[in-house]
Amino acid sequence: MIKKVSNLKKFGIFRDFSWSSDTPDFTRFNLIYGWNKSGKTTFSRIFSACEKKTTEFKQYPKDGEFEIRTNSGITIRHSDCQSETKQFRVFNKDFIEDNISFDPSNPSRPIVYVSEEDIESNKKLKELKERGTSLAQKFEAAKKDREKSERAEDNFRKSTARTIKDIIGNLKVYDKYRDYDKGSIKTAIENIGIENLTALSDNDFEKKKKLTDGDSPKSQSLFSKFELKFLFNGKNLSNFSDIYNELSALLKRQVMGETVERFKNDLELNKWAQHGFELHKTKNEKEKCLFCQNEFSVNFLGSLSRHFSGDYEKLQQEIVSFVKGLTDLKKEKIAEENSGIYADLQESYNDFIKKLNSVVGELNDWIDEATKRLNEKHDNPLLIVALPKSPKDFKKSYDDVIDELNTIIINHNLKVENHVQEVATAKEALERHLIAIAIKEQDYSKIKTDYDSSIEAEKEAKNAVEENNLQISKLEKETSNIGKAIQKMAHPGSSWVYTR
């Protein structure tokens, strides 16, 4: 049952009418009265539009708009009256003008025109009207299904958009993610395609999130390669093979001179004797021992002098020089953490720093071992000291890792120069990730399939109602007679509007 006419616009004298709260709702029988030209017939044309299922008739106000509310909560508007299934019957001045004439010169418009009964047509008309009730019910059910599916699809887009706005949106940056909404989700899915929406790994997600949250990193300096400068006895040793050859020669060299046998195999005694010999030369004491004050035996200092010969001292000096050269080649390890590197480059950077520090560790260990052997030879040049293991090509190993690290730093610096675009790309990846996760968790494929199917089902149900109404209208014109008119006026369940 009609409850009220909630709105009228551009409808004759009703320019902008709204049903006020103190106006009583319609009941089963309603009387609307007023002076001539007060708008009663104009008001009735609201219901004529619902009866005719169109606003395209001559008496309907141009651009007129209306909205009717029923007790069941249904809203009927001028824009959708063509699909209205409720029965309306209107008897007003328009009906009289269209159906009744007292002009005897106009045979086509008699007071009542009676045609031959078309029993089959009437029977079919009755069936169509009965079918119309069923179709109307199906249409209402399809409409409700569509509204339910539409709400589910709408809720998916709202919740997903809210998540994206909360995670990616930044009040400091004005971009599309700051005001991200359900329309943005629809656009993203349509432009990207569900099949192209892929989720990130947890690690990649954290990297990209860190990039979008943080400030722009700073450029970093490139690492220097291994500079091998080793000058020994006038020769430039440019690689570790040459260094090892010179090291081997020093450790194997035999001192030319007279050897004191008791010093030869006693390293500590030999060092003590050499120190004492140097002390006596410095203090110019040649007659007696500075320690015990006993006189030297004949030729004792001479034998020491021949033992600690010039060749002996030269070897020691060369060993000292060589040890210094080796020590200068040692490298410092580099801190493995570098928070200034872009997050997506951090893992590779750390891996190569570890490799570089491993090379540095091996290099320094080898230098320490070589230095230990040289010090043994220095303390007792008469010994034949075992050689350390042959070194790797530490320069090449070091430089290979440096090349990899510098490639990462170059990429980092390029990203710094294009930070705005890097952030935008990261945000797009996060957006796709969050949509992909929501699609999976909320089974959006089913939501979308149900929604599309409900739209199609509603469309088909509406077309069926309109087609059935069209056939009814056609048959009503073909079977127009007094019996039909009487039946029409007395149709059960019809809404009647009478104006005078």
pLDDT tens digits along 226-253: 999 899 988 999 999 999 999 999 998 8
| 27-60 burial code (b ≥16 CB/10 A, e <16) | eeeeeeeeeeeebbbbbbbbbbbbbbbebeeeeb
Q: What is the pLDDT of residue 74?
A: 86
Considering only CA atoms, which of 371, 265, 263 is closest in space to residue 320? 371
Q: What is the pLDDT of residue 392?
A: 93
Q: What is the pLDDT of residue 492?
A: 46
Confidence of residue 100 (pLDDT cuts 50, 70, 90): low
Q: What is the pLDDT of residue 60?
A: 93
At 15-35, the pLDDT tens digits run 999 999 898 999 989 898 888
Confidence of residue 209 (pLDDT cuts 50, 70, 90): confident
What's the whole-number mean pLDDT along residues 362-368?
96
How much is the pTM?
A: 0.46
Confidence of residue 273 (pLDDT cuts 50, 70, 90): low
3-class DSSP state of 277: helix
Residue 144 Cα distances to 138, 141, 451, angstroms: 10, 5, 12
At 159-207, the pLDDT tens digits run 999 999 888 887 566 778 888 999 999 999 989 888 888 899 998 998 8
Q: What is the pLDDT of residue 321?
A: 93
The three state secondary structure string of 411-451 is: HHHHHHHCHHHHHHHHHHHHHHHHHHHHHHHHCHHHHHHHH
* CA angle, 18 then 20 then 26, to 5°: 95
> Is pLDDT at 344 greater than 90 in this prediction?
no
Q: Quote the strand ranges of 124-182, DSSP E.
A: none
> Is pLDDT at 103 greater than 70 in this prediction?
no
Side chain identity at residue 447, one-letter code: I
Q: What is the pLDDT of residue 391?
A: 95
Q: What is the pLDDT of residue 256?
A: 47
Q: What is the pLDDT of residue 415?
A: 86
Residue 447 Cα distances to 114, 332, 438, 458, 461, angstroms: 56, 61, 12, 16, 21
Q: Which one has a higher pLDDT value, 494 or 230?
A: 230
What's the whole-number mean pLDDT along residues 248-271?
65
Confidence of residue 301 (pLDDT cuts 50, 70, 90): very low
Domain boundaries, the chain: 2-115+491-498, 231-393
> Is pLDDT at 312 greater than 50 in this prediction?
yes
The rounded distance, in Å, linking the Cα atoms of 374 and 357 is 25
2-11 and 14-18 as β-strands: parallel, antiparallel, unpaired?
Answer: antiparallel
Q: What is the pLDDT of residue 315?
A: 84
Confidence of residue 284 (pLDDT cuts 50, 70, 90): low
Q: What is the pLDDT of residue 482?
A: 43
Cβ-contact 322, 374 below 8 angstroms? yes
The rounded distance, in Å, linking the Cα atoms of 366 and 331 is 12
At 423-462, the pLDDT tens digits run 888 889 999 999 999 999 999 989 999 999 999 999 999 9
Q: What is the pLDDT of residue 82?
A: 84
Give the chain's mean pLDDT.
Answer: 82
What's the whole-number mean pLDDT along residues 287-298?
65
Q: Which one has a higher pLDDT value, 478 or 6?
A: 6
At 65-98, the pLDDT tens digits run 999 998 888 889 998 888 877 788 888 888 877 7
> Is pLDDT at 302 greater than 60 in this prediction?
no
Cβ-contact 19, 46 below 8 angstroms? no
